[in-house]
Amino acid sequence: MPELIAPIAGNVWKILVAVGDKVELDDELVILEALKMETPIYCDDAGTVTAIKVKEGDAVNEEDVLIVID
């Protein structure tokens, strides 16, 4: 099951999808905020969002799982 991981440490600024959403390659799924800059994180695999592991405002570390896609 593919996972979307955080490429950099930061805070979760916005989550742009919900569980059950169909997502395509290169969709913007999450926006992280680090050093007062918004960094969009793009989808690596097409599929359906089965779980969202974080909520807006959470602090995440590099490599943390953000979203699980089936």
**Binding site residues, another protein, CB under 8 A:** 7-9, 26, 34-37, 39-40, 42, 62
SS (H, E, C) the chain: CCEEECCCCEEEEEECCCCCCEECCCCEEEEEEECCEEEEEECCCCEEEEEECCCCCCEECCCCEEEEEC
- For the bound state, the minimum distance from the C-beta of residue 13 to another protein, rounded and expressed in Å, comes to 14
- For the bound state, the minimum distance from the C-beta of residue 58 to another protein, rounded and expressed in Å, comes to 18
- For the bound state, the minimum distance from the C-beta of residue 36 to another protein, rounded and expressed in Å, comes to 8
> 19 vs 28, which CB is nearer to another protein?
28
> 5 vs 15, which CB is nearer to another protein?
5
